[in-house]
Amino acid sequence: MLVEERRHRVLDLVSQRGFISLLDLAQSLQVSESTIRRDLDFWHQQGALKRTHGGAIYLGDGSQLPSFDERVASQLPEKQAIARAAVARIHDGDSILLDGGTTTLEVARLLVGRPVQIVTNSLPIAQLIASSRETDLIFLGGYVYPRTGVALGPLAIRMMEDIHVHQTVMSVGGITSKGLFNSNLLLVETERAMMGCADEVVIIADHSKIGRPALAFLCELEAVDTLILDRPLSTEQKRNIHLGDTRLIVAGEEGEFDR
């Protein structure tokens, strides 16, 4: 196999998995680990992936996950309204898993000081909750993705094997007739594990996410128990997005929105 062909196969495998170990790459391509290290170093220098201890994380063109600071101010009033609707459904004593989105950060702000348990893979959320004596914090470790402060990958997923929560509250990058999407393959792999931890899966999203796909498919909408939006679905959106048994809540509405 030519060097260029092998390197592109290495990049393909890393992009498909999001994270892959050095040993898995060597076995898949039937070459030595030292050869794989050189190939990973090449793509690391190109900015397509990041070398980690024992493997590599896919970065693509570097734009798949915008920085947390870049996203935090976008649609802020809508995110705050959604957060209020989500927190209204959380009771004292509940255990809640929050992913690393900017909308879930607004949820976390409203939970500071509440007697609840927060599980998260987000450094910004963890730093916020850590200041509260009344709120218990469990942080999911793992590889912290550049520019986002979010722990992803096998270590985070392994920690969730022994965790059970009342709700997993997650944000998404897009919602279409096909289902839910997010911006990174490793992110959706971690979020699927988060969904498996919970009695109820709650998706929170502002209206800009409706009808917009993203790079990586997360799940069908039917896999979600509750969807919280900042405004009602339009007639066209109702035709294209099939909620099935998913409960729809619109921030500011009294109770469940009539679909």
Q: 30 and 88: one domain?
A: no
Given this model, what pLDDT does residue 258 score?
A: 41
Q: 97 and 220: one domain?
A: yes
Given this model, what pLDDT does residue 62 score?
A: 45
Neighbouring C-alpha atoms within 13 Å toward the C-beta of 97: 27
Amino acid letter, 30: Q
Given this model, what pLDDT does residue 1 score?
A: 65
Does 63 fall in a domain? no
User: Which residues of the chain have a pLDDT value below 70?
Assistant: 1, 60-75, 146-147, 253-259
Q: 42 and 157: one domain?
A: no
Q: 134 and 33: one domain?
A: no
Q: 131 and 49: one domain?
A: no
Q: 117 and 195: one domain?
A: yes
Given this model, what pLDDT does residue 212 score?
A: 86
Q: 200 and 231: one domain?
A: yes
Q: 220 and 185: one domain?
A: yes
Q: 49 and 118: one domain?
A: no
Given this model, what pLDDT does residue 57 score?
A: 81
- Token pair listed for 82: 């959604």
CB 68 within 8 A of CB 102: yes
Given this model, what pLDDT does residue 253 score?
A: 67
The rounded distance, in Å, linking the Cα atoms of 251 and 87 is 11
Q: Mark which of 58, 84, 103 sits at the end of a domain.
A: 58
Matching residue, tokens 């509750």: 226
Least Cα distance to 174 among 120, 241, 98 occurs for 241
Does 140 fall in a domain? yes
Given this model, what pLDDT does residue 60 score?
A: 61
What is the total count of domains within the chain? 2
Looking at residue 25, which CATH number applies to its domain? 1.10.10.10
The rounded distance, in Å, linking the Cα atoms of 21 and 55 is 4
Q: 44 and 72: one domain?
A: no
CB 242 within 8 A of CB 221: yes
Which residue range forms the structural domain that includes residue 26? 3-58
Helix (H, G, I), strand (E, B) or coil at 249: strand
Does 257 fall in a domain? no
Q: 25 and 104: one domain?
A: no
Given this model, what pLDDT does residue 259 score?
A: 41
H/E stretch holding 170 reads: strand 165-171
The rounded distance, in Å, linking the Cα atoms of 251 and 88 is 10
Does 147 fall in a domain? yes
Q: 36 and 80: one domain?
A: no
